A and B are shown apart, each in its own frame.
Chain A
Amino acid sequence: MTLFGALGFTAPWLLLGLLALPILWLILRAVPPAPIRRLFPGVVLLLGLKDDEQVSDRTPWWLLLLRMLAVAAVILGLAGPVLNPEPEAAGSGDGPLLVVMDASWASAADWRARIEATDALLVQASRADRTAALVRLTDPEPPVFQSADSLRSSLPGVVPDPWQPGPEEVARFIAALPEGGFDTFWLSDGLARDDREEMLAALEDRGAVTVFESPRSLYALQPATYADGNVVLNLRRLRPGPEAEVSIAAHGLDPAGNPAILARIPGRFESDAREATAELSLPAELRARITRFEIEGQRSAGAVALPDDSLRRREVALIAGSQDREGLELLSPLHYLTRALEPNVDLLDGALMDILPANPDVIVLADVATLSAAEEDAVLEWMENGGLLLRFAGPRLAASDVSRDSEDPLMPVRLRAGGRTVGGAMSWGEPKSLAPFASESPFFGLEIPEDVTVTAQVMAQPDPTLADRVIAQLDDGTPLVTRKRVGQGQVVLVHVTANAEWSSLPLSGLFVQMLERLAVSSTPAMPEVQDMEGTVWQPEMVLDAFGAPRDAGNLPGVAGEDLVTAPLGPDLRPGLYQGAERSLARNVVTADTALEPVVWPQNVPVQGMIRAQETPLAGWLLALAIALLLADVIASLALSGRLRSARAAATVLAALMLMPQTGRAQDTTDAMALAATSEVTLAHVLTGDDRIDDTAQAGLRGLSDTLFFRTSVEPADPMGVDLETDELAFFPFLYWPVTPDQPTPSAEAYAKLNTYLRSGGMILFDTRDADVARFGGSSPNGRKLQALAEPLDIPPLEPIPQDHVLTRTFYLLQDFPGRHAGRDVWVEAAPPDAELIEGMPFRNLNDNVTPVVIGGNDWATAWATDARGNPSFPVGRGFAGERQREIAYRFGVNLVMHVLTGNYKSDQVHVPALLDRLGQ
């Protein structure tokens, strides 16, 4: 490759072709454009005219220049120009090449850049015909030198691991290094580690070492902690720098169970600071749903913090039999419980039935004897679903008959009457102490203080099942804590009081530990090693190096002590581990993780990732040549006078491309909304049958005119409404002519219609068949009406009663004819308890507007007028027909009045009472 500054050529000898350009210039110059032959009768007038310029039989210089440029572009393009070619000095040498990648979580953030850098290196190596090998330090394997091209093809499959190479891996790597010289490229993740010097020395023994390192700062997130009601997130970065702000997203499940970002917290690094703190205040419900915190834009496992149970504050409801506020605080049955639980649980206070819907994790009943039947059922159901009921004994429980003869469902054992007292003034025995916990007890391993004694307790009735249910006992073998599983939950009875009255247990630290073991209270973030011995934890979810959660699949379980102490590695991946009672998270970055930039010795060259990209220019130059040749075509056409039709075509093409998009749906919707809401507007449903729609439009126009002339309602022109697309809320009244073949509205349209009906709209269904079949029987229109109205939210109906408010909202009416004088018109039925009061002209009927009016009298036809106000259709014969039309109009007026004024006229029923009150 030959270099000219930043430009290189792969085939520089082709550039000699540029020497031929002047010759081409001379040749092309001599060739004028070919003439065009035209028929032209006026040629006789041209005879004898001479051209002014004799030189114009040569190609014009600018056209020549255009062609020269095109040819030069072709020559340059074929010569293979490359902008910013990879400097070969970086990888000079011809021995084998070893690519070492740290491949830890810290390199995941700019993994793509690393792969591209490696790819560029391998391209160079391939050009130089060098063999290459690749080793990932997180999982070192003996390097196998192969051709650079085949290594390149496997590059996309190389991914980082979510841990850091430890001393063991480095030792394995050094041991596997082959003898013989090779050069090394080391893609470092930038984190300081103790074993780097050792590795560097081993590699420098073999040949030159070049280090590639990203200049970007690395951000890491420590596990969230809980302090003062806030979630505290500690952020760190590798290199101190200027002020920076990052955004932390709290991922979790939304109420519908879909993954969502529940909150975003800004974290701000001060200038030159390497640590920052962000605080997040969230309601407990929301906090419990958080599955992970993540620094946005950082694709790295170090930027992800998984919360475990430590963030989840358990909700504990405390209920005492008697809240003796008059007594001493220390004697309160809940005092010690409150003090023990307060630091790390959310306490709920209230009546049992009020608390249950909040679904607390634990309900503590301190000396509560009996529950009502309803309460018992509710508590049982809650327990079946996983609730923990913790009961404490006490004087009330001992005195009651609960669980005496048969086992109470809310008690783990039967109780003997009265309980017992030991070590008191009236007893012989000494106060009893606790026996060591059995190995199957949840309390196993807890140390029992010497001074814990029990002076009184309730006694369990011996039963075949008793032995299984005891989880703690006194040293004389009497049960102290018994437990019974109920469904997914359990009920636990502590046979002493929750205060210090019967025993000194609540005064000891053991009490708190026992509560923790029972999972009543939440535990500190990371348990001690000795607590974890012998337990096995199953991975539930693990993180990959990019911080993306992966299903753990069938990864093997992890021993508890390893989970707490062992460094992350292939056997212990970062993620969420599930134990018997709780879950634990192993995060990549903890407060102990060292995050220091590595310092390389002076003699090791360190390159940044960001470098000018090698850009082949051949394609661009050839494209330029084609563009120039196209321009030459147009110019030649123009020169020889043949461009006229071409120009027209180009103009048409440009006009087509510039044609405005039709995007005015919004405008029309707005215009329709404005038109419909500026005035009262009657509307009819578009059926798709033009004749019926026109009639409906004309009918509503006639009705609108009538309203305008006779009443204070002055409607605008009626509108047709498409149920699928138009908003219905603008219209007080919809006229819906039923045709057998109109399309049934979609589910969305029905939802809209139901909303419309519930919010006070009215639909007048008109089957237009004179109701021959008596409300929907067997006429096609009637059947269609049934089909149409089925999904609608329509109340029970009845024929308009004589005293319905529709008969008197404006005119006094008894009949409701349209073009037909059918009998029944149906409206919402009156409530069954409506009665005619003596002396009143009508009943006090339902209090709102009937949502539907159904009939078949073809009202629109009777109302229909043309633009001049003349009736469009005949109604009946002679004067009687005109009278029928008049009554039809009156019905329409009454209907609209009913829609607009509701039951106003019904209130006349109160007129006598009002007059009476006024003393008239």
Chain B
Amino acid sequence: MIPALALRQQAEEEAARLPALLARAEKLAGTVLLGEHGRRRAGQGDDFWQYRPLQPGDSRRSIDWRRSAKGDSDFVREREWQIAQSVLLWLDGAASMRFSSDKNLPTKAERARLLTLAAAILLIRGGERVGLTGWTLPPRRGQEQVLRLAEAFTTDDPDDYATPEARGMLPHARAIFVSDFLGNLDPVEAALTKAADRGVRGVMLQVLDPAEEAFPFEGRTIFESVGKSVAHETLKAGDLRSRYLDRLAERKARLDTLCRLTGWQYRCHHTNASAQSALLWIYRAMDGGHG
């Protein structure tokens, strides 16, 4: 049994991580909100969406008399679409994400959490319901859900490489998958296919460290995965570079093709690039499917 003191310390450490992530995510999300999506905030747009001419089949009760009295034709006052979407998130928490090649760069996991939570905040403010794939956290709305998501994101997965969780997908929901996609791609393919079958579309964000993109290594080296489950020794690391890069490009191409086939959108993000641009891309990609 864990002593009470140690338990409390761990709990406080965990809790301390949450507000920082939340705050940064809120901040990041705030930069986007003031942009083109400001009209979607509650209280600003009310329910009004647009006027349109009366068409056969519309009930007379739906005629907006005040608008119609200004002209000869009748207008119907359309309201904004009230039905919220469900957005399902999958964040890779495996050990391979906890890597950063430079002490000035965030780890891939940090960046992925930040982006995912910020996207979640944006979506929740936009009125969507956000949850995790699988059964652990079903989609809900409200500020409370942000806290729950943040809590869920702070848990680490002991495995070296994760497989996407594709269970519990609501039909016609939307999904965001964030991972480095360095593990086996077959489960990814299976998950995407399953999602496509259910009419779920979404975005796939690959987060990579710049070192993984450039492979700046020389000399005799033993490469190990973060969980130390896989190792590879070479005498001249520099000679492997071109072949490594070929394989990486091939993997990216496969992911892209997969996304095209299933109607998803794919993007690769590096941890030394701006988080904001990636968030903007996510939000726009989600929005594109929305309208």
State A36–B216 Cα separation when bound (angstroms). Answer: 14
Is there contact, CB below 8 Å, between A34 and B220? yes
Residues of B contacting A33 in the complex (Cβ-Cβ under 8 angstroms): 219-220
Is there contact, CB below 8 Å, between A40 and B224? yes
State A613–B99 Cα separation when bound (angstroms). Answer: 64
Residues of B contacting A44 in the complex (Cβ-Cβ under 8 angstroms): 161, 182-183, 225, 230
Residues of A contacting B226 in the complex (Cβ-Cβ under 8 angstroms): 39, 41
State A49–B234 Cα separation when bound (angstroms). Answer: 9
Residues of A contacting B217 in the complex (Cβ-Cβ under 8 angstroms): 38, 40, 641
State A39–B232 Cα separation when bound (angstroms). Answer: 11
Within the complex, what minimum Cβ distance (angstroms) separates B236 from chain A? Answer: 6
Cβ of B27 under 8 Å from chain A: no
Residues of A contacting B183 in the complex (Cβ-Cβ under 8 angstroms): 44
Is there contact, CB below 8 Å, between A641 and B221? yes
Q: Closest residue of chain A to B225, judged by CB?
A: A43
Is there contact, CB below 8 Å, between A42 and B244? yes
* Band of interface residues on B: 35 or more
Cβ of B251 under 8 Å from chain A: yes
Residues of A contacting B251 in the complex (Cβ-Cβ under 8 angstroms): 45
Q: Closest residue of chain A to B231, judged by CB?
A: A43
Q: Closest residue of chain B to A641, judged by CB?
A: B219
Is there contact, CB below 8 Å, between A38 and B222? yes
Within the complex, what minimum Cβ distance (angstroms) separates A185 from chain B? Answer: 64
Cβ of A740 under 8 Å from chain B: no
Given A41-B96, A43-B231; A641-B220 close (CB under 8 Å): yes
State A47–B230 Cα separation when bound (angstroms). Answer: 9
- Contact code string A37-61 (vs B, CB < 8 Å = 1, else 0): 1111111111101011100110000
Residues of A contacting B247 in the complex (Cβ-Cβ under 8 angstroms): 45
Q: Closest residue of chain B to A42, judged by CB?
A: B212
Is there contact, CB below 8 Å, between B222 and A37? yes
Within the complex, what minimum Cβ distance (angstroms) separates A885 from chain B? Answer: 50
Residues of B contacting A32 in the complex (Cβ-Cβ under 8 angstroms): 220, 235
Cβ of B14 under 8 Å from chain A: no
Given A37-B224, A38-B222, A41-B182; A46-B232 close (CB under 8 Å): yes
Cβ of A640 under 8 Å from chain B: yes
Is there contact, CB below 8 Å, between A40 and B239? no
Residues of B contacting A57 in the complex (Cβ-Cβ under 8 angstroms): 220, 235
Residues of B contacting A41 in the complex (Cβ-Cβ under 8 angstroms): 96-97, 99, 108, 180, 182, 209, 212, 225-226
Residues of A contacting B215 in the complex (Cβ-Cβ under 8 angstroms): 42
State A638–B220 Cα separation when bound (angstroms). Answer: 11
Given A38-B217, A41-B182, A641-B218; A46-B223 close (CB under 8 Å): yes
Cβ of B243 under 8 Å from chain A: yes
Residue in A49, A638, A640 whose CB lies within 8 Å of B240:
A49
Cβ of B144 under 8 Å from chain A: no
Cβ of A35 under 8 Å from chain B: yes
Within the complex, what minimum Cβ distance (angstroms) separates A101 from chain B? Answer: 67
Q: Closest residue of chain A to B238, judged by CB?
A: A641
Q: How many residues of A contact B (CB 8 A)?
A: 28
- Contact code string A6-39 (vs B, CB < 8 Å = 1, else 0): 0000000000000000000000000011111111
**Residues 10-60 (chain B) with a chain A CB within 8 angstroms:** none
- Contact code string B90-122 (vs A, CB < 8 Å = 1, else 0): 000000110100000000100000000000000
State A35–B233 Cα separation when bound (angstroms). Answer: 8
Given A44-B182, A53-B236; A36-B220 close (CB under 8 Å): yes
State A644–B214 Cα separation when bound (angstroms). Answer: 15
Cβ of B285 under 8 Å from chain A: no
State A36–B236 Cα separation when bound (angstroms). Answer: 11
Q: Closest residue of chain B to A58, judged by CB?
A: B235
- How many CB-defined contacts (below 8 Å) exist between A and B? 105
State A752–B218 Cα separation when bound (angstroms). Answer: 68
Cβ of B248 under 8 Å from chain A: yes
Cβ of A642 under 8 Å from chain B: yes
Cβ of A604 under 8 Å from chain B: no
Is there contact, CB below 8 Å, between A52 and B239? yes
Is there contact, CB below 8 Å, between B243 and A49? yes
Residues of B contacting A90 in the complex (Cβ-Cβ under 8 angstroms): none
Residues of B contacting A53 in the complex (Cβ-Cβ under 8 angstroms): 235-236, 239
Is there contact, CB below 8 Å, between A46 and B234? yes
Residues of A contacting B161 in the complex (Cβ-Cβ under 8 angstroms): 44
Residues of B contacting A43 in the complex (Cβ-Cβ under 8 angstroms): 223-225, 230-232
Most buried by B among A39, A42, A49, A640: A42
Most buried by A among B223, B238, B243, B248: B223
State A379–B114 Cα separation when bound (angstroms). Answer: 107
Residue in B182, B233, B236, B248 whose CB lies within 8 Å of A56:
B236
Within the complex, what minimum Cβ distance (angstroms) separates A647 from chain B? Answer: 11
Q: Closest residue of chain B to A45, judged by CB?
A: B247
Within the complex, what minimum Cβ distance (angstroms) separates B165 from chain A? Answer: 20
Residues of A contacting B216 in the complex (Cβ-Cβ under 8 angstroms): 644
Residues of A contacting B96 in the complex (Cβ-Cβ under 8 angstroms): 41
- Contact code string A626-644 (vs B, CB < 8 Å = 1, else 0): 0000000000001111101
Q: Closest residue of chain B to A643, judged by CB?
A: B218
State A680–B240 Cα separation when bound (angstroms). Answer: 73
**Residues 237-259 (chain B) with a chain A CB within 8 angstroms:** 237-240, 243-244, 247-248, 251
Q: Closest residue of chain B to A34, judged by CB?
A: B220
Is there contact, CB below 8 Å, between A49 and B244? yes
Given A41-B99, A41-B226; A46-B219 close (CB under 8 Å): no
The 30 sampled A-B contact pairs (Cβ below 8 Å) are A32-B220, A34-B220, A35-B222, A36-B222, A37-B221, A38-B217, A38-B221, A39-B224, A39-B225, A40-B99, A41-B180, A41-B182, A41-B212, A41-B226, A42-B182, A42-B223, A43-B230, A43-B231, A43-B232, A44-B161, A46-B223, A46-B232, A47-B230, A47-B232, A49-B240, A53-B239, A56-B236, A57-B235, A639-B219, A641-B217
Given A40-B225, A41-B97, A639-B219, 20 more A-B residue pairs with CB atoms under 8 Å apart are A35-B220, A36-B219, A38-B222, A38-B224, A40-B212, A42-B182, A42-B248, A43-B223, A44-B161, A44-B183, A46-B223, A46-B244, A47-B232, A49-B240, A49-B243, A49-B244, A51-B234, A53-B235, A641-B219, A641-B238
Can you list the 6 inter-chain pairs with the closest CB atoms, starting with the nearest? A641-B219, A641-B218, A41-B96, A640-B219, A43-B223, A35-B220
